[in-house]
């Protein structure tokens, strides 16, 4: 899921996107999402596999991760949820990326940037997050509902 035209397309700075209530699992490598510019609320998703990273960005996006479950793959070199694409730490350390109320399992970790409370998170908050501990129960219930919906 690539959001944003290119790093040089500055009109995307006004973009506001919510990624909510998804399951990202086996067979996925990266870009769940990959964000350029803009404001992104990643809320109540279930990440059960990735090969490179789950959430990536470039061109100074604001990313607000809330109430997600991140279950890292077994690969010891792919535990990090986040990736700043083509950006040095001296640049991305001032971007607004935060994790709030997320559940990290199997060594998963989120690298935040800019420890300041930022008003830009208001533009990256579209709905209240449920506790991440509910993610597995909600995902299981949705799978059960889908089984019942299948025709015989």
In whole angstroms, what is the distance from residue 129 CA to residue 126 CA?
Answer: 9
Active site residue 31: yes
**Cα torsion 23, 28, 29, 33: sign:** negative
CB atoms inside a 10 Å sphere around CB 134: 14
Rounded CA separation 55/80 (Å)? 9
Q: Which of 31, 34, 36, 69 is catalytic?
A: 31
Residues with Cβ within 8 Å of residue 43, at least 6 apart in sequence: 18, 19, 20, 21, 64, 65, 66, 67, 68, 126, 127, 129
Q: Active-site residue numbers?
A: 31
């Amino acid at each position: 899921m690539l959001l944003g035209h290119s790093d040089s397309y500055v009109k995307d700075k006004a973009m506001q996107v919510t990624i909510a209530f998804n399951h990202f699992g086996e067979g996925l490598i990266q870009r769940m999402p990959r964000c350029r510019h803009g404001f992104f609320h990643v809320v109540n998703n279930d990440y059960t596999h990735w090969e490179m990273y789950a959430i990536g960005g470039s061109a100074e996006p604001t990313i607000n991760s809330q109430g997600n479950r991140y279950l890292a793959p077994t690969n010891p070199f792919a535990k990090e949820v986040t990736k700043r694409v083509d950006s040095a730490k001296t640049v991305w350390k001032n971007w607004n990326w935060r994790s709030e109320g997320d559940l990290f399992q199997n060594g998963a970790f989120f690298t935040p940037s800019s420890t300041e409370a930022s008003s830009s998170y208001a533009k990256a908050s579209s709905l209240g997050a449920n506790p991440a501990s509910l993610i597995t129960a909600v995902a299981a219930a949705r799978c059960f509902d889908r089984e019942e919906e299948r025709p015989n």
